[in-house]
Copies of this chain bind each other. A is one copy, B any other.
Amino acid sequence: MIAVLKHGTTPQQTEHLIAWLRSMNLDVHVSEGQEVTVLGLIGDTSRVDMELLSSLEIVETVKRVSEPFKQANRKFHPNDTIVQAGNVKIGGGYFAVIAGPCSIETEEQILEVAKAVKESGADILRGGAFKPRTSPYAFQGLKDEGIRLLLEAKKATGLPIITEIMNIRALDLFADVDIIQVGARNMQNFDLLQELGKTKKPILLKRGLANTLQELLMSAEYIMSEGNENVILCERGIRSFETCTRNTLDLSAVPVLHELSHLPVIVDPSHATGKAKLVPPMAAAAAAAGADGIMVEVHNNPACALCDGAQSLTPPQFDELNRRLRKIREAMQ
């Protein structure tokens, strides 16, 4: 870590600061230049509060030379991590298509969608049982019963399953779930992350709506520092001023995360755009940007022709998307 001191800092102030830094078990190397004094901090700087340090009156700027994440850092782990869920691999060249309904509604629904997406080539089945909703009055999911139905669909199709956890007290219900999802709103629910770090389950960690990529990696670090290395990162759109899409899908996140980290990166174009017709082009773009998989919503409601415009793809649309993805993946070989 480098701290550049302001022009005009007195020797006493500099000594004060160095003493304080050394009290945190850091080695401090001083380079005095004509314009500025630069302190090089050596040791375990991950415990230094960068915001506090940079807010000091005499400090011009502070810069980490090493990123604050270790376990998620590609520098210390050059090879791609491959996360395995059931017999499906994600990352390191393995591309996974995760599909299923937004919410699990009935046994027929989840079974029908599960069979349809499997037939079209989905690798993993998704379905929401615990639903984080902005309003306390909105449908919050079938909860325990939803997970039971999802497990039935797993049994019927053989597809590994992924579903979201909102409260660590429900962890027992996830014993046979293959991937546990942490939603965008819980990306910095640090207590939840640490508890999930104590399991060995693959965790799909969604980026928060206003979180930087470095913050996403620090949240992955919360899980990994407890011993669980099976983390999948997921870009699902950030909040911006644009209103044509529900959120702004930040596809640059894919190559940036791949450079910084060895963890697999998948993209959720359904939540990011909020419109079914934008899902296929953005899923294709995600694949071309190098994503390790996509997660899309597929519903099956033949009775309701109205729903074509909603966020979820119909099974035929999903089938068509899968075909397109395969061609783009081949073009990238």
Q: List residues of A whose CB falls within 8 A of some B CB.
A: 2, 4, 6-7, 13, 16-17, 20, 29, 31-36, 38, 40, 42, 44, 46-47, 49, 51-52, 55-61, 63, 65, 68-69, 132-139, 166-167, 185-186, 188-191, 194, 208-210, 212-215, 218, 221-222, 225, 238-246, 248-256, 259, 272-278, 281-282, 284-290, 304-311, 324, 327-328, 330-332
Contacts and interface: CB of A to CB of B under 8 A. Distances in A.
A22 to B, nearest CB: 14
Q: Would you call the interface of chain A mostly helix, strand, loop, or mixed?
A: mixed
Contacts of A42: 34-35
The residue among A218, A239, A249 with the most chain B CB atoms within 10 A of its own CB is: A239
A221 B34 contact: no
A138 B185 contact: no
Assembly of this chain: how many copies?
A: 4
A214 to B, nearest CB: 7
A191 to B, nearest CB: 4
Contacts of A215: 134
A2 to B, nearest CB: 6
B238 A139 contact: no
Given A238-B240, A289-B281, A310 B256 contact: no
Nearest to A328: B331
